[in-house]
Structure formats: structure tokens, C-alpha cells
Amino acid sequence: MNQLYDCRDAYTSALEDVASGDPRIVVVVNDSIGSSKLKSFGTKFGRRMINVGIAEQNMVGIAAGLANGNKIPFVSGAAPFLTGRALEQIKVDLAYSHANVKLCGMSSGLAYGELGPTHHSIEDLAWTRAIAGMTVIVPADPLETDQAVRAVARIDGPVFLRISRMPVPIVHPADYRFEIGRASTLRDGNDITLIATGTMVSRALEAAVLLENVGIAARVLNMATIRPLDTDAIIQACLETRGIVTIEEHTI
């Protein structure tokens, strides 16, 4: 796990691919073309990308209208502002009406670092998973990000896809297949289970190696889907190991 990758590159590559095959897919951004790495999308698809400026509430409302017009909007913006400023619109305009809008929260967690708490997004998963009808996904690496983009483009209904700008290693084998609502076991063990999501999955794998050095066999679960949650995997871990530790780049 030495080489590191930016999941935003996988996001835009997959998005361009699915948009090439489905003219309903459009992108709505809040002055975040650069930080979302969507310049090439704009070049390739022109008017299928709408920049509303720094107006997150308006952006979500526009996306809801586009969805009602049989488009599939991918709304890309910095996670703290996309969720924090537009939470009411996400709840009312998207979830209540089951609008087919894909919210893509970029630079999530603590990724903005020195910009401070105004730019940190450590409540977004709690907010979005609490809204009825939302699907919430947090990919752990570029491979999973690519597959998650393709998966959410196929399903109907509102989605929050959380993507970090922090470079991460590839944690999945090449034949990995992402499935919404299904956790993946990346390392087996019968002493303790580490349930991680997003950027923390690679950290959990590193921790499992350290634990192995002191005689503790740790199972590592990648809980890429926060809603719907894979409760079967959690129950199985509770039955087969002696403890559960959750690891997430988020408020607990």
C-alpha cells in the first residue's frame, strides 16, 4: 500500500464514462470545477455542466428540477458546504420527493486541513444518513470510487457520495466488485473487528498489522455503504470476534 491515489480522479473518469453512454447525466457545481476536477468534463460535454456559483441551496434546488425533467444530476461541491448550507433542500427537495439526484461531497472529513473547522466536514454522514430515502456511500479507494459512481448512476433516488481529496492507497484486489449495502472483509481475524469507512480503511489495515505483531488477530471490514447499512456483517462480527472498533473521519 505504498502508492497513493486521488479518488477525485477516479470519480471524474467514471463520471465521464457513464455520461458518454447516458445523455441524461448532467453535472451541477458550485464554483468548484477545479477542486472537483471537472474541467475535462466541461470540455467534453459543454452545456451538460452547470456552474451556479457559490449558491449551494440554489444548486440543490436546480438539481431537483433537472431530475423532475428526467435528467440525472451529479451535484459536485465541497462536502461541508454542500451538506451544511443546503441540508433543508436535500431533505425537502430531494429526499421527500425521491428525486434522482447524486450529491457528491468533495474534500470531505479533515481534508482541507489548515483551512480550519469552517472547511472541515465531520457531520455530513450523520446528517445525510438520518434523512429517509437517502443512500450514503463512502468509497475507500479509487477502484471502489469508480464502481460506486457507476452504481449510483444506475439506481433511482437521492444519493450522497462522499469523496476525499486525501491521497489513499488501493486497498481492494483487482477483482473486487462493489455492491451498495454490502460491507467487504479486507482482512480476517477472530479477536477484534475494525469497521472502517473511506480514508480510514487503509489506516485500519495498518492498525491490524500492528495488532498482529502483539498477537491480536483483527478483522477489517470496509463499510463503504453507510445507508443502507450492512447489519448482517456487523452482527456476524459481533458473534465471531470479541470486540468492535469503528474508525471514521467523522464525529462519533
Name the residues annotated as catalytic: 56
- Spell out the residues 6+ positions from residue 138 whose beta carbon is closer than 8 angstroms to its own: 108, 125, 162, 197, 198, 223, 224, 225, 226
Burial 129-145 (b: 16+ CB within 10 A, else e): eebeebbbbbbbbbbbb
Sign of dihedral through CA atoms 182, 188, 193, 196? negative
- C-alpha angle with apex 100: 66 to 161, nearest 5 degrees? 110
Listed as own residue / partner, the contacts of 125-130 with beta carbons closer than 8 Å and 24 or more positions apart are 125/162, 125/226, 125/248, 125/250, 126/250, 126/251, 127/83, 127/84, 127/87, 128/83, 128/90, 128/103, 128/160, 128/227, 129/226, 129/227
C-alpha cell at 37: 476536477
Q: What is the largest CA-CA distance in the chain?
A: 58
* Relative orientation angle of helices 7-21 and 142-154, to the nearest 10 degrees: 30
Distance CA 165, CA 139 (A): 12
Query: Which sign does the torsion angle of CA 43, 44, 46, 47 carry?
Result: negative
